[in-house]
Chain A
Amino acid sequence: MRRIQNIANWLRSLFRRNTVEKELGSELRFHIERQVEENIAAGMTEQDARRAAEREFGGVEQVKEECRDTRRVNYVENLIKDTRYGVRMLCKSPSFTFFAVAVLALGIAANSAIFSIADAVLIRPLPYADADRLVIIWEDASAYGFPKDTPAPGNFSDWKLRNQVFDDVAATGFGGSFNLTGQGLPEKLTGREVTANLFSVLGVTPELGRDFRPEDDIPGATPVTILSHSLWLRQFGGDSQILGKQISLNYEKCIVVGVMKRGFQFPDRETEVWTPERFTKEELANHGSHFLEVVARLKPGVSLKVANVDLAVIAQQLEKEHPDSNSKVGAFAVPLREEFAGDTRTAILMLVGAVCFVLLIACANVANLLLSRATGRRREMAMRLALGATRGRIVQQMLTESILLAILAGVAGLLLSVWGTRFLATLIPAGIAPLTGTGVDGRVLLFTLAVTLATGILFGIIPASRVSQFHLTPSLKQGGGQSGVGSGGQRLRDALVISEVALAIVLLAGGALMIRSLQNLYHLDPGFRAEHVLVMHTPLPDQKYKNLTQRSAFYDRVLANVETLPGVVAAGYTTWIPLTNAGGAMGVTLEGKPEPAPGQALIPNVRIISKNYAAALGMKLIEGRLLEQGDGFGKPLVALINQTMAKNYWPGENPVGKRFKSGRYSEKSPWISVVGIVGDIHQAGLDLPARAEMYFPYQQQDDGFSPEYLAVRASGDPMALAEIVRQQVWAVDKEQPVAKVMPLEDLVDENLSSRRMQASLLSGFAGLALLLVTLGIYAVLSFAVTQRTQEIGVRVAMGAQPRDVLRMIFAQGFKLFLIGAAIGLAAALALSRALVHLLFGVSAYDPASFASVMALLAAVAFLACYVPARRATRVDPLIALRYE
């Protein structure tokens, strides 16, 4: 109660200031008047009575001030006064205000935008229960070229049974396509076959209906499915009676038993339907085919390190038990978030560093401007000090001004970052973006506020503390402030410019290295020509296309139709178009070579293709021949191999004509002859080296993978053919879903997009830094020229030539530049090591990049020096000397 009254009193003093003041006046007046009456009653004359009363009372103003003090609103009133004054000062020099706000706003916007990205990718919790206990488990098959391999069902089931560290372990199959039919146009959905415990491991329950039960997940169980919220809304209109209904997935009737919550996704955004794996006993004992993604929940209190030790122990047991499949196959767990963030983590941390640098440069710039202004305002400050202001009050006033500037900049920066975040959202890995949500929200606002205040204090504290330090008399004595800046102030300003230069060099060097990497990637030969190639995905459902004859008939007819279309140069089918699957491999044995020891099995990538696929993609034939019409069903088995396979498997020999078979020597599988060698294709990513790879004609491969991607080389714009090619597919099978229709160039672009984004962002920030540094050097030198006008006048009067004046100013500017450059270079060399993972084909110490950065900055520094130096040469000695 008293507390509330207290606050009410305080607020009254603050907001009804005039009333309170008036009351205070009349109260004291009443006291004096009353005393006067008393004195008169005691027999004094009115004049004496009044004089005595006033004398007794003492200083009215002093009492008033003391009374005001008791109300504790002084500091608020001071703040208001300072703010009002600050606003007036800022309005009085609009160009300074605009410049400072713009510079700071850019710095703050960059920070807010990058923070919102970092927050989404690295900080915000994932929408699963206790997400920090979730891990993804991978096989480590580095010995075979797969350091992070999708686990085999046998390994998954043994991990699940034997581990001591996980609450539970669940698995999903390799991302599959599900054809949803009987609901209008055939639609292809991405779905996953999952073990029944997946959702419970993730700690989520369906919004409607029930979770999978163990009895759904055994062979022969009634097919059931759980839908994503978005699929439920889109395809079934949010039908609340959906539970128990049958839908047709891959020509199999499934009963819908559940609908997930809105926004739930696992393992990626595309997945919209889940069905139980229904592994058979045999499948769960298979340690050889690797296609699962395994997610596990750590027991409470178990660390990742302990879990990895446990997994390693199990992997060793499995190596002994299954030497054929598990030799040199390890296992390790990765936190789910790290898995989702992936490579972007380093890139985002780099960008966080970059924007901090930009903001520091911006602060240095504005601090410098404030310092020059402060010099101009010395007399004002000296006057205030002389009139009794404490130094604390002056610092408070200066800081109020700088925080005011920062707040203006913060608002502008926030607006900028709203726009920037939308643009930056593409940086977030597709898997994680909708999980955590992005954009400007409370967290970003809070961050921006913190950055803004820190910025205001950071750039305000130096000028403020300097002002409060100077000595009174000289400041008051000085004339117009011509030679007003002390050597200390100049040194401080120089230091600020030097650090700006150094910071900019670090940023520019990083940007240059990233650009070089990107250039290298663009100039890299990917092994195919992406331009003019149209791609579409038409996976054939197993239930409908049960055997090779049916499938071959489909491919033959579609390809025959498409190749006769006008504008089509070549068309081919493949299991995976480049950049869509890093793996897809098969063990082989070479004829005439010893059986590989356990752990040294030869497992090249395998692609099943049609004969014109190589032509459609523009692959290069190095040796031998490509596939021909004659390489058909029942004919001798043939294969194309890539250069890496030729070089590694038959070193020093010509592999054409050599034979190998899939699987081990002992297997009955027929021998396959190498008929041609083709150039390497970067299947896994442009920045990743090619693996050994072989290509089989689809007519000769009955089991395993079947082609899914159609590639069409056009003579012109590939997308112009999209519709007509799709019609040709439907002409063969009107129920066949067609998806991912796009130019192959899009895949290449997408593969480079995050790198391109990183490079352009870092360069953008570096460019911003460059601009700020230019302005910084320019401002310091212009100011110095103004300060030294008189000195220059004297020099000219004594016979100095314009060249000498020019040299003098340049020397001053370049001294700063050179010191800054040296420091920056050292820092850049030290920091660029952190970039190593983001670079491609360029050393972190690339001399060319560093040299070009130095040259660029030197050129800019030259310009920034030139303008003020020119002005200095035009100083008229007569005017300059009269100036004082």
Chain B
Amino acid sequence: MTKPTDLVQGTLDLLILKTIAPEPMHGWAIAQRIRRVSNNVLQVNQGALYPALHRLEQQAWIQSKWGESENNRRAKYYSLTKAGQKYLQAEESNWERLSSAIGLVLKAI
């Protein structure tokens, strides 16, 4: 059994991992991308984003590097580690299984 907060936190982790999978990104861009891609449905709160990034980095799913940003400033870019890529795959299939299961239940009743 997962508690709702765990689900939310886990979901945010999944979103972050998926978002930075193609290329390294800084925190602001990650928030922007999630919002844009989800058609403004998912608003990532900064207060949750940065602790999540730091936690994922501490757990070594992602790594960070300082680099030049699009507006010529120094920004911290996050990218997946090897372990993070595997973790993302596992989490994605987990998510799909879970959401399709939920979908089945919702349709059946």
Give chain A's interface residues, CB within 8 Å of chain B. 1-2, 5-6, 9-10, 13, 23-24, 26-28, 30-31, 33-35, 37, 56-59, 62-63, 66-67, 69-72
Q: Are B58 and A72 in contact (CB under 8 A)?
A: yes
Contact of B50 among A27, A33, A34, A35 (CB under 8 A): A27
In the bound complex, what is the Cα–Cα distance between A10 and B26 (angstroms)? 22
- How close is B11's CB to chain A, nearest CB, in angstroms? 17
A618–B60 alpha-carbon span in the complex (Å): 89
**Residues in B whose Cβ lies below 8 Å from that of A57:** 46-47
A69, closest chain B residue (CB): B51
**Which B residues are closer than 8 A to A by beta carbons?**
26-28, 45-47, 50-51, 54-55, 57-60, 66, 69, 71, 73-76, 81-83
Q: Other than A30-B28, A31-B46, give 6 A-B pairs with Cβ distance below 8 A.
A: A2-B81, A6-B59, A26-B74, A30-B75, A34-B28, A34-B73
Q: Of B26, B46, B71, B75, which one neighbours A63 at CB under 8 angstroms?
A: B46
Given the interface pairs A62-B47, A67-B51, A71-B54, the reply to whether A2 lies near B60 with Cβ below 8 Å is: yes
7 shortest interchain CB distances as A-B pairs: A5-B60, A70-B55, A66-B51, A2-B83, A67-B54, A34-B28, A70-B54
Instruction: Provide 17 A-B residue pairs closer than 8 Å at the C-beta atoms, listed in order of the A residue.
Output: A1-B83, A5-B60, A5-B81, A23-B66, A26-B74, A27-B76, A28-B50, A30-B28, A31-B26, A31-B46, A34-B71, A58-B47, A63-B51, A66-B51, A67-B50, A71-B54, A71-B58
Known contacts A31-B27, A56-B46: does B51 contact A23 (CB below 8 Å)?
no
Q: Which residue of A lies closest to B27 (CB)?
A: A31
Q: How far is the CB of B74 from chain A (nearest CB, A)?
A: 7
A63-B73 contact given A30-B28, A71-B58, CB 8 Å threshold: no
Contact B76 A30 (CB under 8 A): yes
Contact, CB under 8 Å: A66 / B50: yes
Q: Is the CB of A70 within 8 A of B58?
A: yes
Complex CA distance for A56 and B43, rounded to whole angstroms: 11
Chain B residues, CB < 8 A from A67: 50-51, 54
Interface centre among B47, B55, B58 (most CB of A within 10 A): B58
Residues of B within 8 A of A9 (CB): 57-58, 60
A341–B70 Cα distance when bound, in Å, is 81
**Chain A CB within 10 A, most for which of B28, B55, B81:** B28
A69 CB to nearest chain B CB (Å): 7
Min Cβ gap B37→A in Å is 17
* Pairwise interchain contact A34-B69, C-beta atoms closer than 8 A: yes
- Cross-chain contact B76 with A10 (CB below 8 angstroms): no
- Point out the residues of chain A lying under 8 angstroms from B75, CB to CB: 27, 30, 34
CB distance from B17 to the nearest CB of A (A): 14
How far, in whole Å, are A845 and B74 apart by their CA atoms in the complex? 85
* B74 contacts across to A, CB distance below 8 A: 26, 30
For the complex, what is the distance from the CA of A5 to the CA of B83, rounded to whole Å?
Answer: 11
Cα-based distance from A55 to B85 in the complex (angstroms): 34
Is A63 in contact with B76, judged by CB distance below 8 angstroms?
A: no
A544 to chain B, nearest CB (A): 85
Q: Please report the C-alpha to C-alpha distance between residue A62 and residue B27 in the assembled complex, in whole angstroms.
A: 17
Expressed in whole angstroms, the Cα–Cα distance for A34 and B51 within the complex equals: 19
Q: Using Cβ atoms and an 8 Å threshold, which residues of chain A touch B59?
A: 2, 6
Query: Considering the chains assembled together, what is the distance between the CA atoms of A13 and B58 in angstroms?
Result: 9
Known: A26-B74, A31-B46. A6 touches B60 (CB 8 A): yes
Distance A438 CA – B41 CA, assembled complex (angstroms):
75
Question: CA of A59 to CA of B46 in the docked complex: distance in angstroms?
Answer: 10
Among B50, B55, B57: residue with most chain A CB under 10 A: B50
In the assembled complex, the CB of A144 is this many whole angstroms from the nearest CB of chain B, namely 80
The chain A residue sitting closest to B46, CB to CB, is A57
Q: Within the assembled complex, what's the spacing in Å between the Cα atoms of A268 and B83?
A: 64
Task: Across the interface, name the chain B residue whose C-beta is closest to A7.
Answer: B60
Which chain A residue has the least Cβ–Cβ distance from B76? A27
Chain B residues with CB under 8 Å of A66's CB are 47, 50-51
What separation, in Å, do the CA atoms of A10 and B57 have in the docked complex? 10
With A9-B60, A27-B76 as contacts: A58 and B45 at CB distance below 8 Å: yes
The distance in angstroms between the C-alpha atoms of A63 and B59, with both chains bound, is 18
A31 to B82, CA, bound (A): 27
A1 neighbours in B (Cβ, 8 Å):
82-83
By beta carbon, the residue of chain A nearest B61 is: A2
Chain A residue with minimal CB distance to B32? A38
Contacts of A56 in B (CB 8 A): 46
Complex: A24 Cα to B26 Cα, angstroms: 13
A400 to B14, CA, bound (A): 41
Q: By the criterion CB–CB under 8 Å, are B60 and A31 in contact?
A: no
Is B73 a contact partner of A30 (Cβ separation < 8 A)? yes
Chain B residue, CB-CB nearest to A68: B54
Task: Name which of A27, A56, A59, A67 has the most chain B CB atoms within 10 A of its CB.
Answer: A27
Residues of A within 8 A of B60 (CB): 2, 5-6, 9
> Which residues of B are found within 8 Å of A69, using beta-carbon distances?
51
A56: shortest Cβ distance to chain B, in Å?
7
Q: Which residues of A contact B82 (CB under 8 A)?
A: 1
Report which of A23, A62, A72 forms a contact with B76, defined as CB distance below 8 A: A23
B69 to chain A, nearest CB (A): 7
Smallest distance from the beta carbon of A34 to chain B beta carbons, Å? 4
Residue ID in chain B nearest A31 by CB atoms: B28
Residues of chain B within 8 A of A2, CB atoms compared:
59-60, 81, 83
- Complex alpha-carbon distance, A70 and B83, angstroms: 19
CB-CB under 8 A from A72, the residues of chain B are: 58
- With the chains together, A62 CA to B51 CA distance in Å? 10
Give CA–CA (A30, B75) in the complex, Å.
7
In-complex Cβ contact of B69 among A5, A13, A23, A30 (8 A): A30
> Which of A6, A24, A59 contacts B58 (CB under 8 A)?
A6
Report A-chain residues with C-beta under 8 Å of the C-beta of B47: 57-59, 62-63, 66
Nearest CB in chain A: distance from B50 CB, A: 5
Which of the listed residues B27, B54, B71, B75 has the most CB atoms from chain A within 10 Å of its own CB?
B54
Alpha-carbon distance between A69 and B52 when the two chains are bound, in angstroms: 11
Residue of A nearest to B83 (CB): A2
Q: Closest approach, in angstroms, between the C-beta of B20 and any C-beta of chain A?
A: 15
CB distance from B28 to the nearest CB of A (A): 4
> What's the Cα separation between A13 and B64 when bound, in Å?
14
Q: Which of B27, B58, B81 contacts A27 (CB 8 A)?
A: B27
- On chain A, the residues within 8 Å of B51 by CB distance are 63, 66-67, 69-70
